[in-house]
Amino acid sequence: MVDADVSTSAGAAEQLLEELVSAIQQASPAEFPEVLNRYAGAMGLGRAVVHLIDLQQRVLLPLAEDEAELPVDASLAGWAYRTDALRVEEDGSGGLVVWLPLANGAERLGVLRLRMEFLDGLRLWRSRALASLLGLVITSKRTYIDTFAQRTRTRPMQLSTEMVRAFLPPRSIGTGRVVSTAVLEPAYELGGDAFDHSFTADVLHATILDGMGHDLASGLATSVAMAGSRNARRTGADLASLVGAVDSALSTWLPDQFCTGVFTQLHMPTGVLRWSDCGHPSPLLIRRHRLLEKELERPSEPPLGLPASLAASARQIHEAALEPGDRILLYTDGVVESRNEGGEQFGLDRFTDHIIRSTAAGQNAPEVLRLLIHAIVDRRRDELSDDATILMIEWWPPGP
Say whether 158-395 and 10-151 share the same fold.
Answer: no
**Is it the case that residue 287 has pLDDT exceeding 60?**
yes
Domain 158-395 = CATH 1.10.3720.10? no
Domain boundaries, given as residue ranges, for the chain: 10-151, 158-395
pLDDT band at 1 (very low <50, low <70, confident <90, very high): very low
Superfamily (CATH H level) for 10-151: GAF domain (3.30.450.40)
Q: Kindly report each contact of residues 378-382 with a partner whose C-beta sits within 8 Å and lies 24 or more positions away, as own/partner.
A: 379/338, 379/339, 379/340, 379/346, 380/338, 380/339, 380/340, 380/341, 381/341, 382/186
Q: What is the pLDDT of residues 214-269, one digit of tens each?
A: 788 889 999 999 999 999 999 999 999 999 999 999 999 998 898 999 999 999 99
Q: Which of 211, 250, 224, 220 is nearest to 160 (CA)?
A: 220
Instruction: Check residue 10 and give its pLDDT.
Output: 60
E strands within 236-344? Answer: 259-267, 272-278, 284-287, 290-291, 318-321, 327-331
pTM: 0.93
Per-residue confidence band for 6, with pLDDT thresholds at 50, 70 and 90? very low
- 213 to 73, 79, 109, 247: CA distances (angstroms): 34, 38, 31, 18
* CA torsion angle 241 243 248 251 (round to 10): -170
At 282, the pLDDT band (50, 70, 90 cuts) reads very high
Q: Average of pLDDT values for 289-310?
A: 85
92: pLDDT strictly greater than 70: yes
Closest Cα partner for 262 from 229, 218, 223, 309?
229
241-250: long-range pairs with CB below 8 Å, 24+ = 243/276, 243/278, 243/304, 243/315, 244/315, 246/304, 246/305, 247/304, 247/305, 247/306, 247/311, 247/315, 249/224, 249/225, 250/221, 250/224, 250/225, 250/304, 250/305
- The predicted pLDDT at position 307 comes to 64
